[in-house]
Chain A
Amino acid sequence: MEEEEAGTMVHTNFYCHLGNWGILKKLEQWFIPISMSPWKLGEKAALQALKANPYVDMIVVDGISLLCTDLQVDPQDIVMLVVSWHMKAATMCEFSRQEFIGGLQSLGIDTIEKFREKLSYMRSELRDDQRFREIYNFSFGWAKEKGQKSLALETAIGMWQLLFAEWHWPLVDHWCQFLQLKHNKAISRDTWSQLLEFAKTIDLQLSNYDEEGAWPYLIDEFVEYLTENGIVQRPQN
Chain B
Amino acid sequence: MKKKRAVRNNKPKPILFGEGWEVIEQGVTKIKRILEGLPEPPFTCEEYMKIYTRIHDMCIQRSPHDTTEKLYTKYKEVIMEYITSVVLPSLKDKHDEFLLRELVIRWSNHKVMSKWLSRFFSYLNRFFIKRNSLPSLDEVAFTCFQDQVYKETKGKVKDAVISLIDQERGGEQIDRGLLKNVIEIFVEIGTGKMDYYKNDFEEEMLKETASYYSRKASNWILIESFPDYMLKVEECLRKEKDRVVHYLHATSEPKLIEQVRHEVLCVYSSQLLENEKSGCCVLIQEHKVDDLSRMYKLFSKIDDGLCRISQIYKKHVTVEGTTLVKKADDVASNKEAEKRVVVGLQEQTFVREVIELHDKNMPLVNDCFQNHTLFHKGLKEAFEIFLNKTVAGSSTAELLVNYCDNILKKGGSEKYSDEAIEQILEKAVNLLGYIYDKDLFVEFYRKKLARRLLFDKSANEDHERSILTKLKQQNGAHFTSKLEGMVTDMTLARETQADFKEYLQCNPRTNPGIDLSVTVLTTGFWPSYRSSDFHLPFEMTKCIQAFTEFYPTKTNSRKLTWIYSLGTCNITAKFELQTIELIVTTYQAAILLLFNDSYRLSYSEIMSQLNLADDDVVRLLQSLCCFKYKILNKEPNTNSISSDDVFAFNSKFTNKMRRIRIPLPIVDEKKKILEVVDKDRKYVVDACLIRIMKSRKVLNHQQLITECVEQLKVFKPDLKLIKKRIEDLINREYLERDSENLNLYRYLA
* Chain A residues packing against B (C-beta within 8 Å): 149-150, 188-191, 193-194, 197, 212-214, 216-217, 220
Whether B723 contacts A217 by the Cβ 8 Å rule is yes
Kindly state whether residue B133 has any CB partner on chain A within 8 Å: no
A8: min CB distance to chain B, Å? 43
**Closest 10 pairs between A and B when the two form their complex, measured CB to CB:** A214-B701, A190-B730, A214-B743, A217-B724, A188-B731, A217-B723, A216-B727, A217-B727, A190-B727, A197-B742
Kindly state whether residue B5 has any CB partner on chain A within 8 Å: no
Most B CB within 10 A of own CB, among A190, A191, A213: A190
Interface size class of B (residues with CB under 8 A): 10 to 19
Whether B730 contacts A213 by the Cβ 8 Å rule is no
Which residues 700-741 of B have a CB within 8 angstroms of A? 700-702, 705, 719-720, 723-724, 726-727, 730-731, 737
Whether B702 contacts A212 by the Cβ 8 Å rule is yes
Q: Taking CB as reference atom, which chain A residue is nearest B728?
A: A188
A214 touching B724 in the complex, CB below 8 Å, given contacts A149-B731, A189-B731, A197-B742: no
Complex: A6 Cα to B457 Cα, angstroms: 82
Whether B731 contacts A214 by the Cβ 8 Å rule is no
Complex: A113 Cα to B719 Cα, angstroms: 57
* Chain B residues packing against A (C-beta within 8 Å): 700-702, 705, 719-720, 723-724, 726-727, 730-731, 737, 742-743, 745
Complex: A194 Cα to B731 Cα, angstroms: 13
B33: min CB distance to chain A, Å? 91
Q: Which residues of A contact B724 (CB under 8 A)?
A: 217
Whether A214 contacts B737 by the Cβ 8 Å rule is yes
B85: min CB distance to chain A, Å? 84
How many A-B contacts are there with CB distance less than 8 Å?
35
Complex: A190 Cα to B731 Cα, angstroms: 7
B632: min CB distance to chain A, Å? 49
Most A CB within 10 A of own CB, among B724, B726, B727: B727
Sample of 19 A–B contacts (CB below 8 Å): A149-B731, A188-B727, A188-B731, A189-B731, A190-B730, A191-B727, A193-B737, A194-B737, A194-B742, A197-B742, A212-B702, A212-B705, A213-B701, A214-B700, A214-B726, A214-B742, A214-B743, A217-B727, A220-B720
Complex: A216 Cα to B705 Cα, angstroms: 14
Q: Taking CB as reference atom, which chain A residue is nearest B724?
A: A217
Q: Taking CB as reference atom, which chain A residue is nearest B736?
A: A190
Q: Taking CB as reference atom, which chain A residue is nearest B700?
A: A214
Q: Taking CB as reference atom, which chain A residue is nearest B705?
A: A212
Whether B720 contacts A190 by the Cβ 8 Å rule is no
A12: min CB distance to chain B, Å? 44
Q: Which residues of B contact A188 (CB under 8 A)?
A: 727, 730-731
Kindly list 12 other residue pairs between chains A and B, CB separation below 8 angstroms, not including A214-B742, A220-B723: A150-B731, A188-B731, A189-B731, A190-B727, A190-B737, A191-B727, A197-B742, A212-B702, A214-B726, A214-B737, A216-B727, A217-B720
Q: Which residues of B contact A189 (CB under 8 A)?
A: 731
B740: min CB distance to chain A, Å? 12
Complex: A217 Cα to B742 Cα, angstroms: 14
A150: min CB distance to chain B, Å? 8
B566: min CB distance to chain A, Å? 38
A152: min CB distance to chain B, Å? 15
A201: min CB distance to chain B, Å? 9
Complex: A194 Cα to B736 Cα, angstroms: 12
Complex: A220 Cα to B722 Cα, angstroms: 13
Q: Which residues of A contact B742 (CB under 8 A)?
A: 194, 197, 214
Complex: A159 Cα to B742 Cα, angstroms: 23
Most B CB within 10 A of own CB, among A190, A212, A213, A214: A214
Complex: A188 Cα to B728 Cα, angstroms: 9
Q: Which residues of B contact A220 (CB under 8 A)?
A: 720, 723
Q: Taking CB as reference atom, which chain A residue is nearest B701?
A: A214
Q: Which residues of A contact B702 (CB under 8 A)?
A: 212
B667: min CB distance to chain A, Å? 32
Q: Taking CB as reference atom, which chain B residue is nearest A191?
A: B727
B385: min CB distance to chain A, Å? 22
Complex: A213 Cα to B700 Cα, angstroms: 10
Complex: A188 Cα to B701 Cα, angstroms: 19
Complex: A193 Cα to B739 Cα, angstroms: 10
B257: min CB distance to chain A, Å? 47
A197: min CB distance to chain B, Å? 6
Q: Which residues of A contact B723 (CB under 8 A)?
A: 216-217, 220
A112: min CB distance to chain B, Å? 37
Complex: A189 Cα to B733 Cα, angstroms: 11
Complex: A194 Cα to B702 Cα, angstroms: 17
B172: min CB distance to chain A, Å? 64
Complex: A133 Cα to B732 Cα, angstroms: 23
Q: Which residues of A contact B745 (CB under 8 A)?
A: 214
A115: min CB distance to chain B, Å? 32
Complex: A97 Cα to B705 Cα, angstroms: 47
B704: min CB distance to chain A, Å? 9
Complex: A194 Cα to B719 Cα, angstroms: 19
Complex: A188 Cα to B249 Cα, angstroms: 80
Q: Which residues of A contact B700 (CB under 8 A)?
A: 214
Complex: A180 Cα to B724 Cα, angstroms: 20
A227: min CB distance to chain B, Å? 16
Q: Which residues of B contact A217 (CB under 8 A)?
A: 720, 723-724, 727
Whether A213 contacts B727 by the Cβ 8 Å rule is no
